[in-house]
């Protein structure tokens, strides 16, 4: 009788954990976050978490499992993708925002909104000197270019941008 009661209690304790479903964190085609109980691909979005691999371990540091650039190639690729999608939010996801208040962040995102509307010509620079996003005038002949300089900082095992100054 006591065993049956203990078994029943254990069953009730485990029941809520079994009823929980996984939450998938995704990015929609418009660059906005999407949270779903369905896999990202089934809702037409891209997963924020990297695909699990045998080389991933818990010793990767505090950023393990988060979306961040581990090297300059990933950081450049993320910035190029943000320009291709014309998404200031994607650029914002590559920025280390510590030290910026909400008003400063909003102002920087507005500046980046106008920046990503311009066609990207090239990304120049490196970790030490930062990245210059060279853009041309929208609909122009490409002769008029502008440069937006992003400083590059390393934090928690990731490379991040600082907003153009």
Its pTM surpasses 0.75: no
Q: What is the pLDDT of residue 62?
A: 38
The mean pLDDT value for 22-44 works out to: 76
* pLDDT of 15 strictly over 60: no
* pLDDT of 74 strictly over 50: yes
Find the range with the poorest average confidence among 58-67, 79-88, 115-124: 58-67
CA distances for 97 relative to 101, 105, 140, 155, angstroms: 8, 7, 33, 11
Six-digit token pair at 94?
């590559």
CA distances for 143 relative to 86, 112, 116, 146, angstroms: 21, 21, 18, 10
Q: What is the pLDDT of residue 133?
A: 93
The mean pLDDT value for 131-144 works out to: 79
C-alpha dihedral, 57 to 89 to 84 to 127, nearest 10°:
-60
Q: What is the pLDDT of residue 103?
A: 78
Q: What is the pLDDT of residue 6?
A: 76
Who contacts 62 (Cβ-Cβ below 8 Å, separation ≥6)? 156, 157
Average pLDDT of the residues of the chain: 78
Q: What percent of the chain has pLDDT over 70?
A: 76
Six-digit token pair at 47?
């997963």
By the 10 Å C-beta count (0-12 exposed, 13-18 middle, 19+ buried), 159 is classed as buried
Cα 51 from Cα 78, distance rounded (Å): 17
* pLDDT of 69 strictly over 70: yes
> pLDDT category, 12, cuts 50, 70, 90?
low
* pLDDT of 124 strictly over 90: yes
């Amino acid at each position: 009788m006591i065993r049956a009661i203990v078994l029943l209690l254990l069953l009730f304790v485990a029941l809520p954990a079994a009823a929980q479903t996984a939450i998938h964190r995704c990015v929609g085609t418009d660059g906005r976050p999407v949270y779903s109980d369905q896999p990202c691909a089934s809702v037409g979005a891209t997963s924020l978490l990297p695909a699990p691999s045998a080389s991933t371990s818990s010793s990767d540091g505090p950023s393990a499992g988060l979306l961040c650039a581990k090297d300059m190639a990933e950081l450049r690729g993320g910035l190029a993708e943000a320009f291709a999608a014309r998404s200031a939010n994607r650029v914002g996801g590559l920025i280390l925002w510590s030290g910026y208040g909400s008003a400063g962040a909003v102002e920087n995102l507005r500046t980046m909104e106008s920046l990503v509307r311009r066609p990207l010509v090239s990304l120049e620079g490196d970790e030490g000197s930062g990245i210059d996003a060279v853009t041309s005038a929208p609909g122009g002949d490409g002769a008029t270019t502008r440069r937006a300089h992003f400083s590059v900082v390393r934090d928690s095992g990731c490379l991040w941008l600082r907003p153009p100054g």
